[in-house]
Chain A
Amino acid sequence: MTEVKVLLARLFTDEMRIGESTMRKQLWKSTTSALFAFALFAGLILISPIARAQQGQDKSAPLSQVQRLNRAPVNKEILRVQLPRPDVQTLPNGLTLVLQEDHKLPTIAFTMWIRPGQLADPADLPGLASFTAEMLREGTERRTSAQIAQEVDQLGATLDASSRFGASFTSVNASGLISSRAQILDLMSDVVLHPAFPASELEKYKQRQEASLEERLANPNFLGQRAFRRVIYGDTPMAIASPTKESIEKLSAEDLKRFHQQHFIPGNTILGVTGDFKSAEIGALVEKYFGAWKGAAEAPLSFPTSIDPQPTKITLVDRPGSVQTYIVGGDRGVRRVDPDYYKLVVMNQVLGGGPQARLFLDLREEHSLTYGSYSRFNADIYPGDWQAFAPVRTPVTGDAMERFVYEFKRINDEPVRPSELDEAHRSIIAGFALSLEQPVQLLSDWLTVQYYGLPMDYWDKYPDRISEIDAAGVQAAAKKFVDLNHMQWVAVGDRKQIQDLLAKYGSVVAVDVTGKAEN
């Protein structure tokens, strides 16, 4: 069956934009996890609360391009909802628990965040955190890789671990029927606490990684995002977007063991659980499986609180034969706790947060250059990035650049109109209601609060923080983050056809798909 949609379903996550093939693998690995990709299948375009907070989706439209008849019956009142508060506790060994009861269905889900993730990759071994996470399932002191796979599938459960490139933590996720909660915890604690990193499995894993890297080099999004991170973050761990051939080759079981020993400790970890249970009962069960884990929190890695903007330039990733150019334009963004965070949320919403936002209406609906254009940002313990992007057909690469520049100027130069601003506020705030039926996402909202040290009433106050951002705030964010003098452009496409079209917008540096400079 093939599905075609009016809008591209987008996951505003790094897995999707950087590791598409990784994402795909994780999905097919488990039949059940494919279900969780349903939003993706359905291509539901929405503003999810955390996504809205973290990645921003969606917002208003260039009024000139939307024809507003205002005849549809709209309830002017925003349905405000309060997110149910979880029970938060810390076990004696330092493990933080976030427990959220949800009794709709007889299931349970676990989400574990372990600092510091991929940002702790050594310079000569990019991908180590990701290797470590992905090797957790490949054998423990008690179980072989095949046994783990067998047990997980027999329970109709999911269990996976990953360390997203660009994120400051490793995640381990598990889910299943509530009746299997003890077995799932047994499996999860086994892989997190006692991985064996067996040599035979490591060799096979390295082969698969090599193939996966090779496959990703064919993917324009991967190439674009990798180049973009390199441009923004230079030669730092923040720039790493994938392993390298060399790091895959060099990786040893000792590297994995060392990384695991050093960082996989309860003091570095938050475990969230949501499902059909009583908090007291599940807390005790978690303690049974994770209580003996030892290790005080490590000092957090230190990162700059801000990154200096650089003069505008264009990085052209040469992909001969490409029928589209994947264009990214952006800059460094903010940390999750930065005071400018809310301004960036609202500004992003207006500019490119969805199919009702300016970029989509301009590049797709008005000028027919692309199937979709959006903007998004990430905020973590280091200043994340902000970016706008669109895949456009090769001959109109220059036209698309012109439209981006036009919209970037417009949001800088003109205060956003009151109605457009109001819609941006509404879309973000009203979106919370839908999140109430997505317990895993809700749980992740609360992990965010814990992880970044935000107050427990954070989500209660969030709508007001958003409503407070006025036109001046939006403009201030635009001036800071959508600055044409410091815009970093990446274009993935056929160099022969697009280099001259791009040259008008800045000096062009061409690289090949492996990142090597071309003459």
Chain B
Amino acid sequence: MFLKRRRMATFVAGLGLCLGLSAALHASPADNDLKVPKLEFRDVKLDNGLRVILVPEHSAPVYAIDVCYNVGSRNERPGRTGFAHLFEHMMFQGSENIGKGEHFSLVLNNGGGMNGTTNEDRTTYFEELPKNQLDLGLYLEADRMRALNITQANLDNQRNAVQEERRQGIDNQPYGRASLDLDNLSYDNFAYKHSTIGSMTDLNAATIQDVKDFFRIYYAPNNAVLTLVGDFNPDEALEKVKKYFGTIPSQPEPPKVLLDEEPHYGERRETIYDPLARLPEIDMAYHIPAGNTPDNYAVQQLAIVLGQGESSRFYQHLVKEKQLASDVSVQPDARIGVSQLYFSANPRPGVKVENLEKGMDEEIAAAVKDGVTPEELAKAKTQLLRQFIERRRSDLFTAILIGNYAVYFNDPNLINTVLNKENAVTLEQVNAATKKFLERDQRAVVITLPAAEDASKAPKAGQ
């Protein structure tokens, strides 16, 4: 699924913030009686380099398996954009012992759930199943790691599915292009500059050899983390993991990708005329430091104060008081490399887009000048505490997060410590980070206008 940035940002908040979260449980003074048991886990490396994390959790008779590969669209080269995600689709087309379409069928017809998802930094695959199907999940993941069935027919078919996904998620949606254009404008390094969904031209250019090479280089056990969370005995589970995964051969280290990003010299700006939009939209992005750094944690809290929750500044000031916007969002991400703080807003009908942008700028300027208040920061921290707890609700959520933490930051224990890191963030840090990173010269802005406002500039749909 490819969602428009703003909507995506919302849905990803949980994960983004987790990646950008940290800390301990004494966060909120009122909540001393809250107990969230520390997650005890085993962290083992098999001889072939596969990192295995086992987390027994017996509250429901289910388990989750997540295999997180250390590859995302950042690893793609020019001319082959969209490949990591296209490859993800190939992973469901069958392997040596699993027929085409059989994966969906085996998981769903045994009461489970599954999906695969790709972003800039990683590709992850997961299933959640009743506990009596432990072998099934392990077998499915091991078989495709060992011997994916790569054929021209599968490639052609999934290329079409991905192109439909792009049409559905971007080309046929209002503001679909804005999210792509914003990263393209904001980043100079190709790794994050290009979109994960990729261009239609590049998708068409992908060859069977590309698929084979990609599989060999990136889908090796030594480039993956397997996380199991749920109702199992860890000794038995580890034996099964060894049985299914232990003989998959390791591969040479994949090439490293540099994620450096030079500072901008001046604001970057672009206007899109969108034939499907009925209202304008403003999208902005500021560079912020990588995830799991003190500055990134600080910006996560700033974002809560500015734009998350109905009591946030953007909502109260821009939507409610000044009635400039019908919709606002403020969402940071937490990548392996240079990350972004996104702002997005739609003017309410009748409001000039310039006036809304001015209103947003005033809010940002006020935050830079005066900082956030201790009360606002305390509120943000309570919300983070709640998130920290909810993250443990389902085995699947926990498994995916641990896999992410391991691949992104080499620290699966962030599942336990992220709240401590968040709580360690001080008011001074938040205010210093605001001053440092919310600099106008460092931002990119994409304005979307309904094409009806200037039909001559309407782009051809789907380009």
Binary contact track A314-338/B, C-beta < 8 Å → 1, others 0: 0000011111100000000000000
Which one, A6, A72, A79, A152, contacts B310 given CB within 8 A? A152
Inter-chain contacts of A32 with B (CB < 8 A): 383, 386-387, 390
Number of A-B contacts (CB under 8 A): 413
B113 CB-CB contact with A under 8 Å: yes
Inter-chain contacts of B193 with A (CB < 8 A): none
Which one, B89, B128, B334, B397, contacts A38 given CB within 8 A? B397
Known: A365-B101, A369-B164. A427 touches B117 (CB 8 A): no
Inter-chain contacts of A154 with B (CB < 8 A): 311, 378-379, 382
B359 CB-CB contact with A under 8 Å: no
- Which size class do B's interface residues fall under? 35 or more
Binary contact track A18-61/B, C-beta < 8 Å → 1, others 0: 00010011011111101111111111111100000000001111
Whether A65 lies near B101 (C-beta < 8 A) is: yes
Whether A1 lies near B333 (C-beta < 8 A) is: yes
Whether B94 lies near A67 (C-beta < 8 A) is: yes
Minimum C-beta distance from B277 to chain A (A): 6
Whether B394 lies near A24 (C-beta < 8 A) is: no
A179 CB-CB contact with B under 8 Å: yes
Minimum C-beta distance from B234 to chain A (A): 19
A74 CB-CB contact with B under 8 Å: yes
Inter-chain contacts of A124 with B (CB < 8 A): none
Task: Give Cα A61–Cα B386 distance, bound, in whole angstroms.
Answer: 41
Known: A211-B348, A371-B164. A437 touches B62 (CB 8 A): yes
Task: Give Cα A371–Cα B334 distance, bound, in whole angstroms.
Answer: 28
Name the segment of A212-220, A451-459, A478-486 touching the other chain. Answer: A212-220
Whether A79 lies near B130 (C-beta < 8 A) is: yes
- Which size class do A's interface residues fall under? 35 or more
Binary contact track A91-108/B, C-beta < 8 Å → 1, others 0: 000000000000011110
Inter-chain contacts of A299 with B (CB < 8 A): none
Name the segment of A186-194, A259-267, A283-291, A428-436 touching the other chain. Answer: A428-436
Whether A212 lies near B390 (C-beta < 8 A) is: no
Inter-chain contacts of B121 with A (CB < 8 A): 1
Scan residues 88-141 of chain B and give those whose CB is less than 8 A from a CB of chain A: 88-89, 91-92, 94, 97-102, 104-106, 108-121, 126, 128-133, 135-136, 139-140
Known: A30-B308, A427-B111. A356 touches B101 (CB 8 A): yes
A280 CB-CB contact with B under 8 Å: no
Known: A37-B11, A355-B104. A212 touches B326 (CB 8 A): yes
Which one, B60, B117, B167, B392, contacts A324 given CB within 8 A? B167
Inter-chain contacts of B108 with A (CB < 8 A): 45-47, 58-59, 354-356, 427
Binary contact track B377-416/A, C-beta < 8 Å → 1, others 0: 0110011111101111111110010000000000000000
Which one, A47, A156, A218, contacts B278 given CB within 8 A? A218
Task: Give Cα A446–Cα B244 distance, bound, in whole angstroms.
Answer: 40
Q: Which residue of B lies closest to A9 (CB)?
A: B1
Which one, A6, A58, A324, contacts B88 given CB within 8 A? A6
Listed residue (B2, B162, B384) with the most chain A CB atoms within 10 angstroms of its CB: B2
B205 CB-CB contact with A under 8 Å: no
Scan residues 408-423 of chain A and give those whose CB is less than 8 A from a CB of chain B: 423
Whether B131 lies near A356 (C-beta < 8 A) is: no
Task: Give Cα A459–Cα B187 distance, bound, in whole angstroms.
Answer: 53
Q: Which residue of A lies closest to B277 (CB)?
A: A218
Minimum C-beta distance from B147 to chain A (A): 12
Which one, B15, B128, B173, B382, contacts A46 given CB within 8 A? B128
Inter-chain contacts of A437 with B (CB < 8 A): 59-60, 62, 393-395
A302 CB-CB contact with B under 8 Å: no
Binary contact track B61-86/A, C-beta < 8 Å → 1, others 0: 11000000000000000000000010
Whether B385 lies near A177 (C-beta < 8 A) is: yes
Whether B99 lies near A371 (C-beta < 8 A) is: no
B10 CB-CB contact with A under 8 Å: yes
Whether A5 lies near B117 (C-beta < 8 A) is: yes
Name the segment of B32-40, B210-218, B251-259 touching the other chain. Answer: B32-40
Known: A27-B10, A65-B101, A81-B61. A3 touches B311 (CB 8 A): no
Q: Which residue of B lies closest to A208 (CB)?
A: B326
Known: A67-B102, A212-B326. A434 touches B382 (CB 8 A): no
Inter-chain contacts of A434 with B (CB < 8 A): 60, 62, 111-113, 128-130
A178 CB-CB contact with B under 8 Å: yes
Binary contact track A199-228/B, C-beta < 8 Å → 1, others 0: 000001001101110110111100000000
Inter-chain contacts of A42 with B (CB < 8 A): 115, 117, 126, 396-397, 400
Given A75-B135, A79-B61, A391-B172, 19 more A-B residue pairs with CB atoms under 8 Å apart are A2-B2, A2-B179, A29-B315, A35-B13, A41-B11, A75-B136, A79-B133, A105-B390, A149-B315, A156-B386, A178-B34, A210-B349, A324-B172, A365-B101, A429-B111, A434-B62, A434-B130, A436-B62, A437-B59
Could you list some 20 contacts between A and B, CB below 8 A? Answer: A31-B309, A38-B14, A43-B117, A46-B113, A65-B101, A72-B143, A153-B311, A155-B382, A177-B31, A180-B30, A211-B349, A212-B326, A214-B349, A215-B326, A322-B276, A361-B101, A364-B161, A365-B101, A433-B61, A434-B129
**Which chain A residues have a beta carbon within 8 Å of chain B's beta carbons?**
1-9, 21, 24-25, 27-32, 34-47, 58-61, 65-69, 71-75, 77-79, 81, 104-107, 137, 145-146, 148-150, 152-157, 176-180, 204, 207-208, 210-212, 214-215, 217-220, 319-324, 354-356, 360-361, 364-365, 368-371, 391-393, 423-424, 426-427, 429-434, 436-438
